[in-house]
Amino acid sequence: MQILVPNLPNPNLLASSYARAFEALGHEVVQINPMVTLERDPLLRNRITRRLLERWRLERNVPALLKQLLAHDVDMIWVSKGQWSVPALWRAYKAARPETVLVCYNSDDPVTTYSRGGNAPWVTETIGSYDLFGTFKPDILQALKDHGAPEVYLQLFAWDPDILPRAETTTLDHDLLFLANGDDFRQQWLIDILSDPRTQDWKIGIYGHWPRSGHARLDALTQPMPYQQDQIPQTIANAVVSLNILRQQNISNHNLRSFEIPGAGGLCLSQYTDQIGAVFPRDEAALYFDTPEDAVTQVLRVKQDPTLRHKMVARAGQIVRDHTFKARADALLKRVSQLNQNDLGLILGSSS
């Protein structure tokens, strides 16, 4: 099967993980960067004019983007979010290549306003342009249909061992580790955790892009991500616990870190959701918390019982092997094969 993946040239992006997974399954994958076309437009290169005129300029660039897409005769196009496209582009593409299956997977929420990139108005309007639309959120499946998606599918995030290969614990450098960018929601959780007197002598690492909070201890601890990509798994494995505070858009579901922490060899301490708890059972493969005080208590449990930590890390490592992007890509292609093959003219099968 020939698959086109529009993607930025960044191996750490979700689209890159899926492209590698499709290739690992034996399919021929072509990656193109739509921004090469769009960045020729001076009004899209400028941050101010892009914000003011983005929809209009994307419409004006439909012919150039269409030419870029049509240069590759493929069986399927897999799109991540698709914030660079508008409905007119996919209408024109389908008119030219009606047999090609269009699949979009949006790792944000395209029907609720949480982020500019994942659900700009034209992203929401484009939902009905795809033959199959995927989400990690079961609670918006009906909303996707209401916005015109002919077929929808639910797919959890996953672990990519090419990005975060598994590491073994060598020394416990942090009692509590948080590798993530900050926002007001996460910041308040950390302020409440750090305000607990039981954490005063902990070795804590908070790495990422964080705004100043006015909380002296948090501001003193936060620092830019200092690690090379290949150092991150060992950092996770060498923490007693890796904290996972979900963003508001993920609050009832899960996020990439839900799989990346156990994949890299760490012990995940996360807010509990039914979705992720079903994959990593409580106190068997992960720790969960409902309040800041509970989060501190959970860390103290494994600090005082290293055997418990070892058992949970080992069990989580066993589980996550079944939750890779290769497994997700395989499930997706099985879902695609269930579509009306006569209408779509799909040719399934691995390339040699």
DSSP conformational letter for 66: H
Residue 349 lies in a domain: no
The model's pLDDT over 291-329, given as tens digits with 9 standing for 90+, comes to 999 999 999 999 999 999 999 999 999 999 999 999 999
- Which pTM was predicted? 0.91
Task: Examine residue 164 and state whether it is found in any structural domain, yes or no.
Answer: no
- Give the pLDDT of residue 251: 80
How sure is the predictor about 341, in pLDDT bands with cuts at 50, 70 and 90?
A: low
pLDDT at position 117 is 58
Given a cut of 90, is residue 118 above it in pLDDT? no
Residues 45 and 79 in one domain: yes
- The mean per-residue pLDDT over the stretch 169-197 comes to 94
User: Quick check: is 118 in a domain?
Assistant: yes
Q: Which two tokens stand for residue 85?
A: 């496209």
The verdict on residue 273 lying in a domain is yes
Q: How many domains, the chain? A: 2
Who contacts 127 (Cβ-Cβ below 8 Å, separation ≥6)?
104, 110, 111, 133, 144, 147, 148, 149
pLDDT tens sequence across 258-290: 999 999 999 999 999 999 999 999 999 999 999
Is the confidence at residue 3, as pLDDT, over 80? yes
| CA–CA distances in Å: residue 282 to residues 158, 178, 341 | 19, 20, 42
What integer pLDDT is reported at residue 113 of this predicted model?
58
Residues 336, 218 share a domain? no
pLDDT at 348: 46
Q: Is residue 351 part of a domain?
A: no
Per-residue pLDDT tens digits for 130-170: 999 999 999 999 999 999 999 999 999 999 999 999 999 99
Helix (H, G, I), strand (E, B) or coil at 59: helix
Is residue 317 within a helix (H) or strand (E), and if so which, with residue range?
A: helix 306-320
In this structure, the answer to whether residues 75 and 190 fall within a common structural domain is: no
Domain identity same for 27 and 43: yes
Shared domain check, 260 and 331:
no
C-beta separation of 289 from 310 below 8 A: no
- Shared domain check, 143 and 9: yes
Mean pLDDT across the stretch 178-206? Answer: 94
Same domain? For 8 and 144 the reply is yes
CATH code of the domain in which 254 resides: 3.40.50.2000
Q: How far is CA 319 from the centre of its chain?
A: 19
Written in H, E and C, the secondary structure of 241-289 is EEEECCCHHHCCCCCCHHHHHHHHCCCEEEECCHHHHCCCCECCCEEEE
Residues 314 and 329 in one domain: no
The rounded percent of the chain whose pLDDT value lies above 90 is 77
Where residue 112 falls (left for φ over 0; alpha for ψ -120 to 50; beta otherwise) is beta
Do residues 76 and 141 share a domain?
yes
195 pLDDT exceeds 50? Answer: yes
Looking at the fold, whether 8 and 132 belong to one and the same domain comes out as: yes
Residues 227, 287, single domain; the answer is yes
Q: What is the DSSP letter of 323?
A: S
Beta strands in 46-137 (DSSP E): 76-80, 101-105, 132-135
pLDDT digits 0-9 by tens, 16-67: 999 999 999 999 999 999 999 888 888 888 878 877 888 889 999 999 999 9
Q: Between residues 153 and 121, which one has the greater pLDDT?
A: 153
At residue 346 the predicted structure's pLDDT band, cuts being 50, 70 and 90, is: very low
- For 142, the domain range is 2-158+325-344
- Same domain flag for 340 and 307: no
Secondary structure of the chain: what % helix, strand, coil (to 5)?
45, 15, 40
pLDDT band with cut points at 50, 70 and 90 for residue 347 = very low
- Output 200 or 48, whichever has higher pLDDT: 200
